[in-house]
Chain A
């Protein structure tokens, strides 16, 4: 089992729709979770991070975390063609001295296409 798994893509949504991206993780010691967006040929850029159970909203983006279910999601409202990219979910390990300490473990990414 991969430590961080993302829903299989690619995901295609029409412009203006809600895009839903999902991620599950296996390491219960993970402290916080990040969503990055990566355009083809570019480096990842941070969308937002979350570390408390519940929802966190930032503009058109809402991240949701459920630690009991070990589940993280990202909702993109009013999707735009410029949102077309690969979305990476990552968890940060916590325990000092452990193999996962401090590092980000990434899922394989979900390719999102927003078509006009």
Chain B
């Protein structure tokens, strides 16, 4: 069974630009979660999508947004990038009725 995949692995942007990060969940998983892991701040919950709907959102500004497609893949968009958005962005997926979230390898975003 293939794991969660994310693209790109690395992304370099300049301040003010927009970044788009992509995630494909494990086959059969319908929920997708996005987390930010910034240096010194630990893993912070960003967004949760399930069946195409946003179910919960972390304490992040509206310039962090996303969506889930009919095939359950997901996209995270970060607008008006700021230097402090530099972090590892992790996607996780979960099968309905199960507890565990499985993480992808992450996208490392660097904002210059």
Contact = CB atoms under 8 A, between A and B. Distances in A.
A34 B55 CA distance: 21
A43 B105 contact: yes
Interface stretch (A7-15, A57-65, A74-82, A96-104): A96-104
Interface string A83-109: 000001010100000010111111111
Q: B-side binding surface: helix, strand, loop or mixed?
A: strand
B90 A43 contact: yes
A55 interface: no
B99 interface: yes
Contacts of B43: 44, 88, 90, 104, 106
Interface of B: 31, 33, 35, 42-45, 48, 55-56, 58, 88, 90, 92, 99-106
Given A43-B106, A90-B43, A104-B35, 6 more contacts: A34-B101, A44-B90, A49-B100, A101-B56, A104-B43, A108-B42
